[in-house]
């Protein structure tokens, strides 16, 4: 499958479910104390490095972008799906949301203090992920932080799974870290948790990495 056909299919799949997705997930952070703690740590680390903007890439309906804004960050969202971007703008009119792909961001080199990719790289085929990580490294300032949220597994090879919206992949944290390292990132830390009763039976991982250098 080519990069453009994957992007086309992912966009169409999320356009089709956007209102339902927003209804189901817009308040999900209220039920995720461990993820909230990682987002708070991410915000604090980014702020300690200066006042650069933070991009929530694959932001969906914008609830996590709004959470980052509430934590004091200059946060904006980018999503492939025009329907998701429209919902995000409607729900959070005070924030900026752009349509775009994390494979080719419309951002200058080194402008961001942080990137959040919260369950959005899960749809990127493993062979396309180096392009995405290179793009993240390009737009982050030296010292910038990248927080990756994803479904985890033990197998060192990424595993396809039948995600409800469209084809997705789960990763072992170490394998994903290897790819991030190839793009120049170094690990800051990670949080791995077991699924809650209402979730499907995959572990959840938040992996925090950093681009080397002084901000």
Q: Which is nearer to ligand SAM, 59 or 147 (CB)?
A: 59
Report if residue 143 touches ligand SAM, rule: CB under 6 A: no
- Nearer residue to ligand SAM within complex by CB, 148 or 209: 148
CA distances from 74 to 64, 67, 103, 113 (A): 13, 11, 22, 10
Give the nearer residue to ligand SAM in terms of CB position, either 128 or 190.
Answer: 128
- Picking from 118, 110, 117, the residue whose alpha carbon sits closest to that of residue 143 is 110
Is there binding between residue 101 and ligand SAM (CB under 6 A)? yes
Phi, psi of 204 (to 5 degrees): -115, 135
Q: Which two tokens stand for residue 163?
A: 């995600």
Q: What is the dihedral of CA 39, 153, 160, 19, to 10 degrees?
A: -30
44: helix, strand or coil: helix
Minimum distance from residue 208 beta carbon to ligand SAM (Å): 16
- Which class for 100: exposed (0-12), middle (13-18), buried (19 or more C-beta within 10 A)? middle
- Among 54, 80, 152, 180, indicate the residue that binds ligand SAM (CB under 6 A): 80
If the CB atoms of residues 81 and 172 are measured against ligand SAM, the closer one turns out to be: 81
- Residue 196 or residue 213: which is nearer to ligand SAM going by CB? 196
Question: From CA 151, how far away is CA 3, in angstroms rounded?
Answer: 22
Work out whether 206 is an interface residue with ligand SAM (CB under 6 A): no
Which residue in 66, 120, 151, 153 binds ligand SAM (CB under 6 A)? 120
Give the C-alpha separation, 205 to 202, whole Å.
Answer: 10
β-partners of residue 134 are none
Name residues contacting ligand SAM, limited to 39-58 (CB under 6 A). 57-58
**Residues 144 to 173 in contact with ligand SAM, rule: CB under 6 A:** none
Residue 102 within binding range of ligand SAM, rule CB under 6 A:
yes
Cα separation, 79 vs 197, whole angstroms? 29
- Which lies closer to ligand SAM via its Cβ, residue 39 or residue 143? 39
Residue 79 in contact with ligand SAM, rule: CB under 6 A: yes
Residues of the shown chain interacting with ligand SAM in the complex, contacts defined by CB under 6 A: 7, 10, 14, 25, 57-60, 64, 78-81, 84, 101-103, 118-120, 123
């Amino acid at each position: 499958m080519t990069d453009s056909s994957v992007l086309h299919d992912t966009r169409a799949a999320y356009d089709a479910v956007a209102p339902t997705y927003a209804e189901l997930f817009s308040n999900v952070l209220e039920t995720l104390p461990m993820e909230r703690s990682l987002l708070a740590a991410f915000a604090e680390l980014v702020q300690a490095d200066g006042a650069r903007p933070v991009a929530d890439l694959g932001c969906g309906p914008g609830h996590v972008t709004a959470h980052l804004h509430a934590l004091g960050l200059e946060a904006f969202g980018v999503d492939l799906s025009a329907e998701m971007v429209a919902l995000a703008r409607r729900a959070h009119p005070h924030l900026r949301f752009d349509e775009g792909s994390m494979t080719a961001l419309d951002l200058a080199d080194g402008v961001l203090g942080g990137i959040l990719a919260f369950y959005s790289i899960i749809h990127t085929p493993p062979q396309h992920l180096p392009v995405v990580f290179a793009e993240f490294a390009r737009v982050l300032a030296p010292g910038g932080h990248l927080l990756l949220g994803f479904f985890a597994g033990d197998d060192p090879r990424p595993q396809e799974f039948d995600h409800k919206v469209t084809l997705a992949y789960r990763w072992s944290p170490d394998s994903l870290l290897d790819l991030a390292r190839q793009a120049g990132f170094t690990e800051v830390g990670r949080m791995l948790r077991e699924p809650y009763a209402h979730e499907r039976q995959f572990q959840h991982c938040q992996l925090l990495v950093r681009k080397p250098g002084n901000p």
